[in-house]
Amino acid sequence: MADDIILVIDVGTTSARSLLFDREFRMVASSAREYQNSYPGPFLVEQDPDVWWRAATEVSKEAMEAKPSGSGVAAVIVTSQRATVIPVDKNGRALRPAILWQDNRSMPQCRRIRETVGTAEIYKRTGLKINPYFSLPKILWIKEHEPETFEATHKFLLVHDFILHRLTERFVTDQSHASRTMAYNLRRRWDEDILGAVGVDATKFCRAVPSGERVGAVSAGAARLTAIPEGTPVFAGAGDQQAAAVGMGIVVAGTFMANTGTGSFVLSPLNEPVLDPQERVLCTISAVPGKWLQEAGMYTTGSVYRWFRDQMSTKEVETARERGLDPYDLLNEQASTAPVGSSGVMWIPHFTGSLAPYWNPISKGVLFNLSLGTTRAEVIRALLEGIAIEVGKNISIMEEIGGKAREIRVAGGATKSPFFNQVQADVYGTRVVTTNFAEATGLGAALLAAPSLGWHPSLEKAVDKVVQVVSRYEPYQDAHVRYKELAKLHHELYRTLQEGGIFENAAALSEKLGAGGPGKG
């Protein structure tokens, strides 16, 4: 049996996937499972880590069952959502539910980090903003509110680390994931000055290795649960967005990607760390050895469309099920009938706060400028336009710092829609292209293992051979002019709400009303 398959386990925010790639990096099998996160209160987003492991074992089994006859697994590599925190004991058992990257409970801890370390110092050392998104404030929340859990914690794991431990029984992370904790600096080491200032021991974090490094082998116990043969080599992967950049061919300076899944992320490679003087966008460690990334993230973009599908589109979902279609196809079809700019209807997609460029954890979603003449098609189109406008703000900032993008490579579930891709091109005013694998995260993770397996002499050469452009969307100038006006108003709407204290007052009201519980007056 030839060991000619790479198995990727991709544990995202709302689903887990297992993907098998052959030596030519063609996907030969896959499996997926969706799951629901828990929202125990305002600003809180949690998950039982065993849900991730159970989903990972199920999709791995199914992918292995679909594996081509006569093929063997040369490597397992893991990629996942980033910054989510799981405190575990010495045996890797979770001590409480995971606190997800979208969780904003740690705003008070962020204030204390500003007071003890300082915003500029954190940004200079880690390339990150002080924000509840990142891992360190979540850890400090546990320290202050659940001190017994903090003291009992052997390691604070990220989702990638948790799955690696379940596979290999080893505690290890990779540098790209570590760089999203706010405790790991741009020189690729745990920052003991920051950790000392906030009272967290560096030993509570895993050893961080470069992406694509072998870290162990599948244990006997994991083999029984996943159907992956015992002893199969396991490699450290990368954060989902860093992996997606590799899978889209974004490995050299001057190229840009916009990946829209649960949230949206814009990345561009750097040969050395580059910081934004206004601290609007981030600098993180790349999955490519010796490289960094300029990065901007948005909490909720694709997940807002999913919310709209689940909460506001019962008819479309039922019709799609009857016709064997994807409900999003019907929604996109409706949206395409509305005019460019949706007659001025606007969405601000801040359903769990804002990351770049506003960094406002209490910002909220807004649907604005409705009238009795507003159509459903306009509301749907405005939602997609709002996502693209939010992404476009960050692309513009990154172009200010690093120069104009020649093209924007797009990926993620939302980019399966040619209509949405054209909207993106028109909003950005730049050619948008898709590559030969829409779910680029899985492909990028698989490519990381290629040099260590001897399948390619370098990651860059593997990317050059495998990643190809398959479609191009040129912007329409008239549409771009309209979207520039709309984007300006979109920004002014946000600023008016923020400067008027509306988000802050709404957050206080949500907390007050939420505390009463369902049905309590």
Shared-domain flag, residues 329 and 219: no
Record the tokens describing residue 484, joined without a space: 């520039």
Q: What is 37-91 written as a DSSP string? A: -B--STT--EE-HHHHHHHHHHHHHHHHHTSPTTEEEEEEEEEE-SS-BEEE-TT
What pLDDT score was predicted for residue 1? Answer: 55
Structurally, the chain folds into a number of domains equal to: 2
Grouping H, G, I as helix, E, B as strand and the rest as coil, residue 374 is: coil
Shared-domain flag, residues 87 and 203: yes
Q: Which helix (H) or strand (E) holds 93?
A: none
What pLDDT score was predicted for residue 404? Answer: 85
Could you tell me the end-to-end alpha-carbon distance of the chain, in angstroms, rounded to an integer? 67
The verdict on residue 270 lying in a domain is no
* Residue linked to tokens 């021991």: 201
Record the tokens describing residue 173, joined without a space: 């992370």
- Sequence-ordered list of residues with C-beta below 8 angstroms from that of 271, at least 6 positions apart, any chain: 253, 291, 292
What pLDDT score was predicted for residue 511? Answer: 78
Q: How many other β-carbons are positioned within 10 Å of the β-carbon of residue 35?
A: 16
The verdict on residue 273 lying in a domain is no
Nearest of 223, 221, 235 to residue 21 by alpha carbon: 235
CATH code where residue 81 lies: 3.30.420.40
- 234 vs 218: CA distance, rounded Å: 7
Structural domain for 339, as ranges: 298-435+476-515
Shared-domain flag, residues 181 and 314: no
- 28 vs 21: CA distance, rounded Å: 6
The amino acid occupying position 208 is A
Kindly tell me the burial class for residue 179, based on how many C-beta atoms sit within 10 Å of its own C-beta (0-12, 13-18, 19 or more). Answer: buried
Shared-domain flag, residues 492 and 411: yes
CA pseudo-torsion sign 137, 142, 147, 153: negative
Mean pLDDT in order along the chain per 10 residues (521 residues): 87 94 94 94 92 97 92 95 97 98 93 96 97 96 98 98 98 98 97 97 97 97 97 96 93 86 90 93 94 92 93 88 90 96 97 91 94 97 97 94 88 88 97 87 94 92 92 96 97 96 90 55 38
- 514 vs 181: CA distance, rounded Å: 30
Beta-strand runs (E) in 22-116? 27-34, 46-47, 71-80, 86-88, 98-99
Shared-domain flag, residues 214 and 337: no
The verdict on residue 82 lying in a domain is yes
Beta-strand runs (E) in 299-441? 346-348, 366-368, 408-411, 432-435
Record the tokens describing residue 502, joined without a space: 């509306």
Shared-domain flag, residues 204 and 343: no
What are the backbone dihedrals phi and psi of residue 153, each rounded to the nearest 5 degrees, phi first?
A: -75, 125
- Last residue in a domain, options 239, 267, 286: 239
CA distances from 408 to 259, 382, 411 (A): 10, 21, 10
The verdict on residue 324 lying in a domain is yes
Helices 376-402, 327-335: axis angle to 10 degrees equals: 90
Q: How many other β-carbons are positioned within 10 Å of the β-carbon of residue 393?
A: 21
Beta 184-185 vs 189-190: how paired, if at all?
antiparallel
Shared-domain flag, residues 233 and 330: no
Asked if the bond preceding 327 is cis, omega within 30° of 0, the reply is: no
For Cα atoms 316, 322, 326, give the angle at the middle one, nearest 5 degrees.
55
Nearest of 128, 161, 412, 137 to residue 284 by alpha carbon: 128
The verdict on residue 199 lying in a domain is yes
- Last residue in a domain, options 219, 239, 259: 239
For Cα atoms 511, 37, 81, give the angle at the middle one, nearest 5 degrees.
110
Shared-domain flag, residues 11 and 142: yes
The verdict on residue 37 lying in a domain is yes
The verdict on residue 176 lying in a domain is yes
- Last residue in a domain, options 239, 260, 283: 239
Q: Tell how many helices (H) and how many strands (E) occur in the chain.
A: 19, 23
Shared-domain flag, residues 227 and 335: no
Shared-domain flag, residues 231 and 327: no
Shared-domain flag, residues 91 and 228: yes
Average pLDDT, the chain: 93
Shared-domain flag, residues 223 and 329: no
The verdict on residue 279 lying in a domain is no
> For the whole model, what pTM was predicted?
0.86
- 43 vs 45: CA distance, rounded Å: 7
